[in-house]
Amino acid sequence: MKLAIQVNEGPYTHQAADTAYKFVEAALEKGHEIYRIFFYHDGVNNGTRLTTPPQDDRNIVARWSALAEKHNIDLVICVAAAQRRGIADADEAKRNSKDADNIAPGFRISGLGQLIEAGIQSDRLVVFGD
Torsion angle of the four alpha carbons 110, 113, 118, 119, in this order, in degrees rounded to the nearest 10: 140
Angle ∠(97,101,103) on CA atoms, nearest 5 = 140
Burial annotation 47-69 (CB, 10 A radius, 16+ → b, else e): bbeebeeeeeeeebbebbbebbe
Identify the pLDDT of residue 82. 97
Set 16, 78, 104, 109: catalytic member:
78
Angle ∠(23,82,39) on CA atoms, nearest 5 = 15
Give, for all 130 residues of the chain, the pLDDT tens digit: 999 999 999 999 999 999 999 999 999 999 999 999 999 999 999 999 999 999 999 999 999 999 999 999 999 999 999 999 999 999 999 999 999 999 999 999 999 999 999 999 999 999 999 8
Active-site annotation holds for 74:
no
Can you give the pTM of this predicted structure?
A: 0.96
Identify the pLDDT of residue 16. 97
Identify the pLDDT of residue 91. 94
Ordered by where they begin, the domains of the chain are 2-128 (3.40.1260.10)
